[in-house]
Amino acid sequence: MIISRSSRFYLLLLIVLITTDANALTYEKIHIHGFVSQGYMVSDHNNYLADTSSGTLEFNDAAINISRQFYPNFHIGCQLYTRDIGNVGNHKVEIDWAFADYRMTDLIGFRLGKIKIPHGLYNETRDIDMLRTFIFLPPVYYDISRSTINAMNGIDIYGNYQFETLGNLEYQILNGVKRIEADSGWSRYMERRGMDITSFDSDYVQCGKLTWYPNIEGLRLGVSGILFDMNADAEIDMLPLPPQYRISGPDLEYRLRNFIVSVNYIEYTLREIIFAAEYMTFRGDLAIKTLAPGLKQIVSEIPIKTDSFYLSMTYRLTDYLEMGGYYAVFWPDASDTNGKTLLPNYLGWHKEAALCFRFDITNYLTLKGETHLMDGGALMMPQDNPEGVEQRTALFLLKLAFSF
């Protein structure tokens, strides 16, 4: 196996950081932190996210964030982030988040800038390996859609209300706009329909989240939602469209209207054990129409009705060893969970069981090993599997991460 130049860079950076004082980048009220990771993936049948059937080191990410506390209730910060997972990312550096935060009272605060989207239990902390057990959070929620639900530009209103006897309620309301790159992971998922996405244009985005902490120690539960519209231009790749509709430039317009992503979630911590569950739905109206001038437009209307859920448990065995597992299910069409309208039928679902072990080598260095058993082809990209998608796949991952 040949180690790529980029992977050698990440490995070298890991070695340098491991030998560095992890507190050396904190100075007075300015805090500089970050992380770097290098992983390895290998699968037995289908390729998953990269060329995993041959084993790959194209699985790494890194970030650095800077924050400054000006007053007890006002601070600013930003994070630069880069990753490489197969054909996604390719070490492009992006502003992951950057905002100013002013907390007036416990009841109300404001953020302005590029803000993490309040999606489910873990979206706002998903990039920090130290805060989670798993290498891959359930991908039907967090990994495939990172480019869609990671962050957005806008204004955020948040706060916490303390009830007298019912615990406390956290809320968050975020309004703004969202940018999606044409080479993102979401684009690749769309392209499995036979299109080559050339551009994205997302209109106004609204997000909200309510989390209730009742007077039961360790319990939190709530709901979150994202509402937006999205346009995309695409060139024909494999769709059965008459040749006269293939024009110079984009051939199709892809419109997603009233797209709603909603999540119901619960988490319960009982001493060293954490139980979690989330149920997510995608709803919206998809229209694909031709852009060929002077010809009758061909319009395809597709209702979006996608459901998914997962159940997870993690257990801290010792100060340095933790284990966890989850079971996740994804149905791209919740009205056809058995894939009766598809050939083969297993393209109608993705079911996945994962088991992970995490070793805390130091307070700043973690090593994780994880196994996934997958059934179904709903999340397997045809682009990565030109000879066809098989029904079952086993995936093994290793990941070394350093945070400072």
pLDDT, one tens digit per residue, over 26-49 is: 667 788 989 999 999 999 989 988
Record the tokens describing residue 311, joined without a space. Answer: 């159940």
Q: Is the pLDDT of residue 14 over 70?
A: no
Share of residues in the chain with pLDDT > 90 (%): 53
The answer to whether the CB of 250 falls within 8 A of the CB of 233 is yes
Integer Cα distance of 313 and 176 in angstroms:
35
Integer Cα distance of 41 and 70 in angstroms:
43
Length of the chain: 404
Q: Is the pLDDT of residue 7 over 70?
A: no
- 229-268 pLDDT, tens digit per residue, is 888 887 776 656 667 666 767 777 878 888 899 999 999 9
Q: Average model confidence (pLDDT) for the chain? A: 86
**Helix spans in 99-227 (H):** 146-149, 185-191
In this prediction, residues 112-141 reach a mean pLDDT of 87
Which 3 state secondary structure label does DSSP give 50?
coil
Q: Which residue has the higher pLDDT, 88 or 70?
A: 70
In this prediction, residues 142-161 reach a mean pLDDT of 83
Q: What are phi and psi of 402, to 5 degrees?
A: -125, 130
The answer to whether the CB of 97 falls within 8 A of the CB of 116 is yes
pLDDT classification of 343: cutoffs 50, 70, 90 = confident
For tokens 């110079």, the residue is 248
Q: Which residue has the higher pLDDT, 117 or 233?
A: 117
Q: Is the pLDDT of residue 15 over 60?
A: no
Q: Kindly report the CA angle at 115 between 112 and 117, in degrees rounded to 5?
A: 135
Q: Which residues contact 89 (CB under 8 A, 6 or more apart)?
A: 61, 82, 83
SS3 breakdown of the chain: % helix, strand, coil, rounded to 5?
Answer: 10, 55, 35
- 194-211 pLDDT, tens digit per residue, is 667 777 777 788 999 999
The answer to whether the CB of 97 falls within 8 A of the CB of 126 is no
Considering the entire predicted model, what is its pTM?
0.86
The answer to whether the CB of 197 falls within 8 A of the CB of 204 is no
- Note the pLDDT of residue 237: 63
Record the tokens describing residue 231, joined without a space. Answer: 């346009």
CA distances from 286 to 193, 199, 236, 368 (A): 13, 16, 17, 39
Least Cα distance to 370 among 398, 350, 393, 351 occurs for 398
Give 88's strand partners. 85
Give 26's strand partners. 31
The answer to whether the CB of 325 falls within 8 A of the CB of 312 is yes
Indicate the residue type of 390. Answer: E
The answer to whether the CB of 152 falls within 8 A of the CB of 205 is yes
Instruction: Name all contacts of 334-341 with Cβ < 8 Å and 24+ positions apart.
Output: 334/281, 334/305, 334/306, 334/307, 335/305
Indicate the residue type of 70. Answer: F
| Domain residue ranges in the chain | 106-403
In this prediction, residues 288-294 reach a mean pLDDT of 79
- Note the pLDDT of residue 194: 65
Q: Is the pLDDT of residue 341 over 70?
A: yes
In this prediction, residues 137-150 reach a mean pLDDT of 70
Integer Cα distance of 119 and 224 in angstroms:
6
Q: Which residues contact 214 (CB under 8 A, 6 or more apart)?
A: 166, 167, 221
SS (H, E, C) 316-382: ECCCCEEEEEEEEEEECCCCCCCCCCCCCHHHHCEEEEEEEEEEECCCCEEEEEEEEEEECCCCCCH
The answer to whether the CB of 203 falls within 8 A of the CB of 255 is no
Record the tokens describing residue 138, joined without a space. Answer: 């359930």
pLDDT classification of 1: cutoffs 50, 70, 90 = very low
Note the CATH number of domain 106-403.
2.40.160
The answer to whether the CB of 295 falls within 8 A of the CB of 107 is no
pLDDT classification of 23: cutoffs 50, 70, 90 = low
β-bridge pairing 350-360 and 365-375: antiparallel
Q: Is the pLDDT of residue 182 over 70?
A: no
